[in-house]
Structure 1
Amino acid sequence: MKIVVLDAYSIVYNDLSFDFLKDYDASIYDFTSPEEVVSRIGDAEAVFTNKCEIDKNVIDSCPNLKFVGELATGYNNIDVQYCKEKNIIVSNIPSYASNNVSEMVFAFLLDVFYNLHDYDVAIKEGEWINSKIFTFFKHTTHNLAGKTIGIIGYGDIAKAVEKKAIAFDMNVLVHRRTQDTSDKKFVSLDYLLANSDIITVHTPLNQQTAKLINEESISKMKDGVVFVNTSRGGIVDEKALYNALESGKISHACLDVLTKEPMEKDNILLKAKNITMTPHIAWAAYETRKKLIDILEENLKAYVSGKPINVVNK
């Protein structure tokens, strides 16, 4: 069977590999531009993609395609409905990054609330040496304990964030797509926005969630809220976020994702104050990428055996 991997580097980096494909007719590319997708897939039966788009044009241009392996949990880069119409199986990698992403949320929050980097720099620049007392105050720090964290979405990552928040003695509010009255933590979006000290987003990007965080929803947030997004950049209206940071409505934003990636040089958030950004690495620890590859191998074996798993377009 002929297999093409369109964007391997984002998964294997320089410390992992797709060695499990050695028994297949596999072509592995580190990067693939949009213009190269069709020619590289060619007559392949299976394609693996992380961020390369598999749209109607690609599907129509590659008639031998029967299996698309998404190298992530989210699959908004694939026209799954058209794949279904063409009897193309699409499998994703579920639940592989829950620990990684939820840990990153708290790495962000601890950085915001304690700002250890500033203290480290100050010490190395001699400021503690010149302090009159043993405790050198450079800025006020704050506890996470007792703060209310509002979690938008309630998938595996969100549940992992909730578990860690409880361990930090935080109060938890959750807004999920489907109504749930089984626990008082489940609240409306408006209630969550108005009552959370911290808001963290864990939803897929789709028509319902595109620019969910916008001027209107931000206006409903508590003044001075801390905002975290480790899901998809398109969930946030970046101009509205910039304005909220400038006004102080949002006291600090932590972003691992942007609407356009890699970041464009004229992105307005480069000029924003009180923002921490990382380059879409919240999912990418070695252990997590290794787990992803292991699940991908299972997905491929299941497809070959005629019993596909983790199918998102049944």
Structure 2
Amino acid sequence: MWHRCQPLINARRFLLSFNTLTLTDTVLQRAGISAMGPARRPTVLVTRQDVAKEALDLLTDKCDVEVWNEDKPISRTALLQKIAGKDALFCLVTEKVDSELLDAAGSSLKVIGTMSVGYDHIDISQCTKSGEWAKQAWSPTWMCGSEIRGSTVGIVGMGNIGFGILERLKAFKASKFLYFSRGHKPAAEALGAQFTRLDELLKLSDFVIACCALTPETKGLFNKEAFSMMKSTATFINISRGQVVDQDALYEALSSGKIRSAGLDVMTPEPLPVDDPLLKLPNCVILPHIGSAATETRTAMAVLTAQNILAALDGISMPAMVC
């Protein structure tokens, strides 16, 4: 952020909250605005429509705010036109702030706030020529998700993988862990997880993690009915097998907003065809079945497989026997 007619201060102090965009009494006085009864409200140009409502509310409480209401970034021509006569600019890294913009803005421009950590899009030398100073706010909200902290996490399938997930997620301070499995798991409950029915888990969870084995009972388990039970703000994660999910139902749930988002490490088929509709969704992240893609993990899997074979050949119990 830069501010006109103030001493130059350290440009590398980045953290600044939105409410620092509010003009101080001194600046208001310079603008000819009385604290007892403002002659006019400061004007602010915001260059993106997807800026958080909380930030816009702070500004509109004290300023007249003009927001660029198109999905694509504001064009250079429009920016130069709209900044004229404004008291403040709320921009992102897509907007170049240089002598041309400062000239277009005129002497009324008192503050520039950039919603970014980096500031290479701002010509600091031009800003500081008139005694302005530069600082940055935090990064944009694009690609932001929801925190696990304070949420309810539902784990479907409390085998070794489900339990491993539970152990790791404890550090993220979820408020509650629910699980559905073939029976009670004392080790999971010792970590605070609560056994519940599947329908209750789906209704209450902010994150639903599928890590169950593929069996006749679990094939198609996550279908249209299951997705309809979930919160509209829920995130669905599948690291088990693609066939536990009805992918047509998942697509409908994601595209219609029945659930917020999905993360898939497994799908049917693998790899998905390039024209699969799931690949076109902005709220679905798909990985190429790499949940175990660490050298150590793959080595351990290979060694365990070999140990199973050798144990069977010796006629003794295998370390990891299924049947």
Kindly provide the amino acid, as one letter, of the partner of residue 298 in structure 1: Q
SS at match of 1:173: strand
1:125 and 1:259, CA in 2 relative to 1: closer, same or farther beyond 3 A? farther
| Inter-partner Cα distance in structure 1 for 2:321 and 2:167 | 28
2:218 to 209, 214, 217: 209
Query: Is this contact kept in 2: 1:245–1:273, CA < 8 A?
Result: no
Kindly provide the amino acid, as one letter, of the partner of residue 262 in structure 1: P
**Distance apart, 1:235 and its partner CA:** 0.7
| Inter-partner Cα distance in structure 2 for 1:268 and 1:209 | 24
Structure 2 spans left out of the alignment, 5+ residues = 1-91, 97-115, 123-133
1:162 to 161, 166, 170: 166
Q: Which has the higher contact order (CA 8 A, sep 6+)?
A: 1
1:223 to 228, 232, 247: 232
2:310 to 289, 301, 311: 301
Kindly provide the amino acid, as one letter, of the partner of residue 185 in structure 1: Q
**Distance apart, 1:227 and its partner CA:** 0.8
Query: Is this contact kept in 1: 2:155–2:179, CA < 8 A?
Result: yes
Equivalent residue number for residue 311 of structure 1: 321
**Distance apart, 1:151 and its partner CA:** 0.4
1:296 and 1:124, CA in 2 relative to 1: closer, same or farther beyond 3 A? farther
Query: Is this contact kept in 2: 1:239–1:268, CA < 8 A?
Result: no
**Distance apart, 1:262 and its partner CA:** 2.1
Equivalent residue number for residue 148 of structure 2: 144
**TM-score (norm. length: structure 2):** 0.54
1:303 and 1:177, CA in 2 relative to 1: closer, same or farther beyond 3 A? closer
Query: Is this contact kept in 2: 1:146–1:169, CA < 8 A?
Result: yes
Q: How does 1:38-53 map to 2 (within 5 A)?
A: none
Kindly provide the amino acid, as one letter, of the partner of residue 183 in structure 2: T
1:300 and 1:242, CA in 2 relative to 1: closer, same or farther beyond 3 A? same
| Inter-partner Cα distance in structure 1 for 2:152 and 2:305 | 37
- Cα deviation, 1:11-67, whole Å, max 9, x if unaligned, reads xxxxxxxxxxxxxxxxxxxxxxxxxxxxxxxxxxxxxxxxxxxxxxxxxxxxxxxxx
Kindly provide the amino acid, as one letter, of the partner of residue 151 in structure 2: K
2:296 to 268, 287, 294: 287
| Inter-partner Cα distance in structure 1 for 2:205 and 2:254 | 17
| Inter-partner Cα distance in structure 2 for 1:281 and 1:307 | 32
1:232 aligns with 2:236: no
| Inter-partner Cα distance in structure 1 for 2:307 and 2:94 | 49
Computing the radius of gyration from Cα coordinates, the structure with the larger value is 2
**Distance apart, 1:176 and its partner CA:** 1.1
Equivalent residue number for residue 251 of structure 2: 242
Equivalent residue number for residue 178 of structure 1: 183
Query: Is this contact kept in 1: 2:158–2:185, CA < 8 A?
Result: no
**Distance apart, 1:177 and its partner CA:** 2.1
Kindly provide the amino acid, as one letter, of the partner of residue 229 in structure 1: N
Q: How does 1:1-314 map to 2 (within 5 A)?
A: 128-129=118-119, 130=121, 133-139=135-141, 142-170=146-174, 171-178=176-183, 183=189, 185-309=194-318, 310-313=320-323
Equivalent residue number for residue 131 of structure 2: none
| Inter-partner Cα distance in structure 1 for 2:220 and 2:246 | 5
Query: Is this contact kept in 1: 2:263–2:286, CA < 8 A?
Result: yes
| Inter-partner Cα distance in structure 2 for 1:275 and 1:154 | 24
**Distance apart, 1:297 and its partner CA:** 2.0
The CA RMSD measured in Å over matched residues stands at 2.5
**Distance apart, 1:179 and its partner CA:** 5.5
1:124 and 1:156, CA in 2 relative to 1: closer, same or farther beyond 3 A? farther
| Inter-partner Cα distance in structure 2 for 1:187 and 1:260 | 31
**Distance apart, 1:280 and its partner CA:** 0.5
**Distance apart, 1:134 and its partner CA:** 2.1
- Cα deviation, 1:227-284, whole Å, max 9, x if unaligned, reads 1001100011111111111122221110000011122233221222311111001112
**TM-score (norm. length: structure 1):** 0.56
| Inter-partner Cα distance in structure 2 for 1:262 and 1:297 | 28
